[in-house]
């Protein structure tokens, strides 16, 4: 069965470009090359769009439901960290498609943040790798955070780059400044969701720093590839009360002709 590829196209592939903005509030905007994304395997071919969209509806619905529950304390559930145990499980692929699916909601806007500050694939794909972004805002309190959130030509979807490389990236992501910035992003609007594309949990300290400020974690697992031990090790590195979703990439959905399998949505672990 044909499946959308989730980890191809090369780290240097670019499917977006920064252009002059249409409003005074945003001097720049990002245009996405949907055709290039489709040809590279990040989006379904026209004949499979309906099945693909339905799969992502199943994935996003419980995540959005949790996001609507106001947390009296702790991390805001509107901040969703996309995680994986290892590289190549389809995390960035899932981040992009979940963001696009959520942006279709009438009452939701999405900020897709490149939190993989070392690999920075998302920034390159969207053509924003030279734009100031997350690390710049963490290192300079004078930077206006909202200016770093670039709207795209997809209604309801914005993107923030990883920013300028920094030797102390882990410390910046683990700082109280990061907690404040995350709160400011969702505090701007009750309808805003923030999706953080993070590094693999077993290979970086940055991902564990991001997990601390996320209100929900979505772990992408590649069916038949990701070792069970790696999945359990990755889960063990997160806070036990953190809401956790598991999404199975490249599941054989048989007669449904689906592209992407939704496994299960995990409740808080006891």
Is there a domain that residue 75 lies in? Answer: yes
The DSSP string of 150-203 is: EEBSSTTEEEE---S--TTHHHHHTSHHHHHHHHHHHHT-TTEEEEEE---TTT
Question: If we measure between CA atoms, which residue out of 249, 61, 43 comes closest to residue 154?
Answer: 43
Q: Residues 164-201: pLDDT tens digits?
A: 999 999 999 999 999 999 999 999 999 999 999 999 99
Is there a domain that residue 6 lies in? Answer: no
Alpha-carbon distance of 90 to 100, in angstroms, equals 16
Residue 265 in this model has a pLDDT that exceeds 70:
no
Is there a domain that residue 121 lies in? Answer: yes
pLDDT at 267: 40
Give the global pTM: 0.87
Phi-psi region of 254 (alpha: psi -120 to 50; beta: other; left: phi over 0): left
Q: Residues 103-138: pLDDT tens digits?
A: 999 999 999 999 999 999 999 999 999 999 999 999
Alpha-carbon distance of 267 to 174, in angstroms, equals 25
Is there a domain that residue 52 lies in? Answer: yes
Q: What is the mean pLDDT of residues 37-66?
A: 89
Domain count of the fold of the chain: 1
pLDDT band of 49, cuts 50, 70, 90: confident
pLDDT at 4: 38
Report the CATH number that the domain containing residue 112 is assigned in CATH: 3.40.50.300
Q: Residues 209-246: pLDDT tens digits?
A: 899 899 999 999 998 899 999 999 999 988 888 889 89
Q: Which range of residues forms the domain containing residue 37?
A: 16-265
Is there a domain that residue 270 lies in? Answer: no
Q: Is 55 helix (H, G, I), strand (E, B) or coil?
A: helix
**CB under 8 Å to 246, separation ≥6 — which residues?**
218, 219, 221, 263, 264, 265, 266
Residue pair 86/79 in contact (Cβ under 8 Å)? The answer is no
Dihedral (CA of 36, 45, 53, 42) sign: negative
Q: Count of alpha carbons within 13 Å of 133, Cβ hemisphere only?
A: 31
Is there a domain that residue 162 lies in? Answer: yes
pLDDT at 264: 37
Give the best-scoring range by mean pLDDT among 86-95, 129-138, 258-267: 129-138
Q: Residues 11-20: pLDDT tens digits?
A: 567 888 888 7
Percent of the chain with pLDDT over 70: 84
Question: If we measure between CA atoms, which residue out of 11, 220, 213, 199 comes closest to residue 116?
Answer: 199
H or E element at residue 28:
strand 26-32
């Amino acid at each position: 069965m044909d499946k959308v590829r989730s980890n191809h196209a090369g780290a240097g592939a670019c499917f977006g470009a920064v252009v002059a903005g249409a409003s005074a509030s945003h001097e720049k905007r990002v245009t996405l090359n949907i055709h290039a994304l489709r040809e590279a395997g990040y989006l379904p071919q026209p004949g499979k769009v309906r099945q693909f969209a339905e799969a992502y509806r199943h994935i996003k619905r419980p995540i959005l439901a949790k996001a609507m529950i106001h947390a009296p304390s702790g991390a805001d559930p509107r901040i969703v960290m996309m995680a994986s145990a290892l590289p190549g499980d389809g995390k960035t692929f899932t981040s992009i498609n979940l963001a696009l699916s959520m942006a279709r909601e009438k009452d939701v806007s999405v900020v897709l943040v490149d939190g993989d500050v070392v690999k920075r694939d998302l920034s390159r794909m969207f053509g924003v790798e030279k734009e100031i972004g997350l690390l710049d805002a963490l290192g300079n309190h004078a930077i206006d955070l909202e200016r770093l959130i670039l709207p795209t030509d997809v209604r309801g979807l914005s993107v923030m780059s990883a920013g300028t490389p920094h030797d102390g990236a882990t410390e910046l992501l683990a700082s109280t400044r990061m907690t404040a910035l995350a709160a400011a992003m969702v505090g701007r609007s009750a309808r805003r969701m923030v999706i953080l594309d993070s590094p693999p949990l077993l290979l970086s300290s940055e991902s564990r720093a991001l997990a601390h400020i996320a209100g929900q974690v979505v772990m992408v697992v590649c069916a038949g590839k990701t070792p069970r031990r790696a999945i359990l090790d990755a889960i063990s590195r997160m806070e036990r009360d953190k809401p956790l979703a598991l999404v199975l990439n490249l599941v054989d959905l048989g007669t449904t002709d689906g592209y992407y399998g939704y496994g299960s949505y995990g409740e808080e672990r006891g």
